[in-house]
Amino acid sequence: MVIRDFHKKPRSLCPRCGGPMIEEKDEESGQIKFKKCPACGYITGSGEPSEPVGIKFRMDEKIEDKKEKILIFHQKGDNIIKATNLDSDTVALVADKNQNIIFVWKGKFTSPGERYRAGTAATRLKSSERMYGAQTIMVDEGEEPKNFPDLKGAAKETEEKAKKEAEEEAKRKAEEEAKRKVEDEKKKKLEMKKKKIKKPRKADLEKKPEKKVSKEIKKISKLEKLEDEKVKAEEEAKKKAEEKKKVQKLTKKPKAKKKSDEPKKTKAKIIEKETKKIEEKVKPIKEKKSSSKVKKISKTKKK
């Protein structure tokens, strides 16, 4: 009796896509060369695991973290507002990122209800500032622990940052205004070029005491004279033509009609005349025939 093992070994799965891996073995030794995923092409070797490849580099200058490490927020209603100092009339949240702690600081003249609302706001502050594992500690004014942060230095840092930001904004605005002015000047120049250049008047040219101007004045004066002469010649020609027409009307005589002036006979008119002549000749013949027919009919009736 042969006992068979129906429990097959589990096939190795691809760590990338989760599909089954195909094994390729060496013919001589029978060991596995490598495993390959037919779906995504992932390959694993059978040898010793190689060390992870890395790139060695060195930083001579340290990169400073520009983000603020100590933040102060005032509680107002259900919301919190960013601030720079502590006030005894409010409840403040002090987020210290170095220690990963959020201090709920209660002023002297505040109620416990405000402190409770600040505690709920601290949980929201953890997610917004990415301080997920931060610890919340309740602190009263005048009873601050030793690890409570020095807010004077933090306030100075915030003031310096605010000044720098204001200076940068002022510079940016000044640069934008300068660019805008340059663009406006360019637009004005282009508009002036596009406008049509008017012909220089004689009065404007006389003001310039230059030799070139005198030449231009002479040219303009010549052109004006020529134009005036042309206009005068046209007017005189019109007057002469009108006088000739009047004289011709007075001296005209009625001309005798010539045969050539009579209306020419057309073919149609000639045909009409000939047909009339033929009809006049044919009329008496037709009348005779009709009278003879009437006589015959009367004789037949008498019989």
Question: How far is it, in rounded angstroms, from Cα 122 to Cα 172?
Answer: 37
Would you state the pLDDT for residue 103? 92
Would you state the pLDDT for residue 53? 47
Question: Per the structure block, which two tokens stand in for 117?
Answer: 């609302």
SS3 37: coil
Would you state the pLDDT for residue 258? 52
- Class of CATH domain 70-149: alpha beta
Question: How far is it, in rounded angstroms, from Cα 99 to Cα 139?
Answer: 16
* Tens of pLDDT, residues 229-249: 888 888 888 888 888 887 777
* Tens of pLDDT, residues 241-284: 888 887 777 776 555 555 444 455 566 777 787 887 777 777 77
Question: How far is it, in rounded angstroms, from Cα 72 to Cα 81?
Answer: 8
Sheet containing strand 101-106, strands side by side: 79-83, 70-76, 91-96, 101-106, 135-140
Would you state the pLDDT for residue 5? 54
Q: What is the DSSP string of 226-293?
A: HHHHHHHHHHHHHHHHHHHHHHHHHH--PPPPPGGGSPPPPHHHHHHHHHHHHHHHHHHHHHHHHHHH
> For the chain, what is the radius of gyration of the CA atoms?
61
Question: Per the structure block, which two tokens stand in for 281?
Answer: 């000749």
Q: For residue 61, name the pLDDT band (cuts at 50, 70, 90).
A: low
- Residue 155 to residues 72, 130, 160, 161, 171, Cα–Cα distance (Å): 9, 22, 9, 10, 25
Q: What is the DSSP string of 66-130?
A: -S-SEEEEEEETTEEEEESS--TTSEEEEEETTTTEEEEEE-TT--HHHHHHHHHHHHHHHHHTT
126 CB neighbour count, 10 Å cutoff: 17
Question: Per the structure block, which two tokens stand in for 259?
Answer: 């045969």
Would you state the pLDDT for residue 158? 63
* Tens of pLDDT, residues 109-158: 898 888 888 888 888 888 888 888 889 999 998 888 888 888 765 555 66
pLDDT at 7 over 70: no
Q: How many Cα atoms sit within 13 Å of 276 on the Cβ side?
A: 6
User: Using an 8 Å Cβ cutoff, are 19 and 40 in contact?
Assistant: yes
Looking at CATH, the fold of the domain delimited by 9-49 is given as N-terminal domain of TfIIb (2.20.25)
Domain ranges for the chain: 9-49, 70-149
Select the highest-mean-pLDDT range: 2-11, 49-58, 74-83, 159-168: 74-83
- The number of angstroms, rounded, from the C-alpha of 240 to the middle of its chain's C-alpha atoms is 68
| φ/ψ (deg, to 5) at 132 | -65, -40
Would you state the pLDDT for residue 229? 87
